[in-house]
C-alpha cells in the first residue's frame, strides 16, 4: 500500500513537473517571439525616425542654403543700388539744386509752364507752391508777372517743405505737378543710372 501511494505521488509529481516545464518552455518561446517582434518593431520605428530626421535635415539644409543665397543676392543688389544712387545723386544734386535756387531760372520755368496751362483756357485758375526761402525774391514776380500769363489768376503759397523748385496744379484738380529738386533728380537719375551701372559693374 505504501509503495502504491509512493508511486502515485511520484507519478503526480513527475506529471506536474513535466507539465510545468512544458508550460515554462511555451511561455519562454512566446516571450522570445514577443521580444523579437518588439525588437523588430523598435528597429523599424528607429529606422523610420532616422529616415525622417535625415529628410528633415536635408530639407532644412536646402532651405538654409536657399535663404542664404537669396539674402546674399538681395544684399549685393542693395549694396550695388546704394552705391549707384550715391554716385548718381552726387553728380546731379548740386547742379539741380543750383539751377532751381537761381531766381531767374526758376521764374523762366514757371512762366513757361503757366503760359502752357493758361493757353486757350480763359477760365483756368492755377495754384502754385514755392519754397519759403524764395519768398522775398519771388514776391515781385508773383504780383506783377504771373497775372499777365493767366487771366483767372494764380494762387501762390510758400512752403518750408520745398527746398528748391515748385509745385503747380489746376485749381480743384486735387493733384500737383512736381517740379521740385527731388523730382528733377529722380528724372535725371533715371537717364544716367544705366550708364553709371555699366561703368561700375559692367552690367
Residue 4 has pLDDT above 80, yes or no: no
Lowest mean pLDDT among 18-22, 72-76, 168-172: 18-22
Q: Of how many residues is the chain composed?
A: 203
As a whole number, mean pLDDT of residues 2-6 equals 60
Comparing CA positions, the residue from 69, 75, 81 lying closest to residue 201 is: 81
Three-state DSSP class for residue 136: helix
Q: What is the chain's mean pLDDT, rounded? A: 76
Rounded CA-CA distance 12/7 in Å is 9
> Which residues sit opposite 156 in a β-bridge?
128
> For position 106, what pLDDT does the model report?
85
Rounded CA-CA distance 107/100 in Å is 10
As a whole number, mean pLDDT of residues 146-168 equals 79
Domain of 149, CATH number, reads: 3.30.2320.30
Asked whether 188 and 96 are in contact (CB, 8 A), the reply is yes
> For position 71, what pLDDT does the model report?
81
Rounded CA-CA distance 63/83 in Å is 30
Asked whether 153 and 147 are in contact (CB, 8 A), the reply is yes
CA distances from 91 to 17, 84, 99 (A): 108, 11, 14
Rounded CA-CA distance 80/120 in Å is 48
Q: How many CA atoms lie within 13 A of 53 on its CB side?
A: 6
Rounded CA-CA distance 196/187 in Å is 15
Rounded CA-CA distance 104/83 in Å is 34
pLDDT in tens, 105-148: 888 888 888 887 766 554 557 888 888 988 888 888 887 777 66
Residue 17 has pLDDT above 60, yes or no: no
How is the beta sheet containing 126-131 ordered, strand by strand? 154-159, 126-131, 167-170, 177-178
As a whole number, mean pLDDT of residues 68-89 equals 77
Q: Which range of residues forms the domain containing residue 78?
A: 1-203
Asked whether 130 and 123 are in contact (CB, 8 A), the reply is no
As a whole number, mean pLDDT of residues 55-65 equals 84
Q: How many domains does the chain have?
A: 1
> For position 174, what pLDDT does the model report?
73
Amino acid at each position: 500500500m505504501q509503495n502504491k501511494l509512493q508511486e502515485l505521488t511520484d507519478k503526480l509529481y513527475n506529471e506536474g513537473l513535466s507539465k510545468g516545464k512544458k508550460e515554462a518552455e511555451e511561455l519562454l518561446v512566446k516571450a522570445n517571439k514577443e521580444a523579437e517582434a518588439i525588437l523588430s518593431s523598435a528597429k523599424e520605428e528607429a529606422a523610420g525616425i532616422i529616415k525622417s530626421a535625415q529628410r528633415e535635415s536635408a530639407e532644412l539644409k536646402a532651405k538654409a542654403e536657399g535663404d542664404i543665397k537669396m539674402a546674399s543676392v538681395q544684399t549685393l543688389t542693395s549694396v550695388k543700388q546704394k552705391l549707384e544712387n550715391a554716385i548718381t545723386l552726387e553728380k546731379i544734386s548740386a547742379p539741380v539744386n543750383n539751377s532751381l535756387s537761381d531766381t531767374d531760372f526758376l521764374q523762366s520755368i514757371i512762366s513757361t509752364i503757366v503760359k502752357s496751362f493758361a493757353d486757350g483756357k480763359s477760365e483756368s485758375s492755377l495754384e502754385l507752391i514755392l519754397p519759403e526761402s524764395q519768398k522775398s525774391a519771388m514776391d515781385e514776380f508773383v504780383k506783377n508777372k504771373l497775372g499777365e500769363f493767366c487771366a483767372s489768376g494764380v494762387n501762390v503759397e510758400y512752403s518750408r517743405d520745398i527746398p528748391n523748385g515748385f509745385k503747380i496744379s489746376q485749381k480743384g484738380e486735387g493733384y500737383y505737378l512736381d517740379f521740385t529738386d527731388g523730382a528733377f533728380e529722380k528724372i535725371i537719375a533715371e537717364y544716367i543710372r544705366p550708364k553709371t551701372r555699366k561703368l561700375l559693374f559692367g552690367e
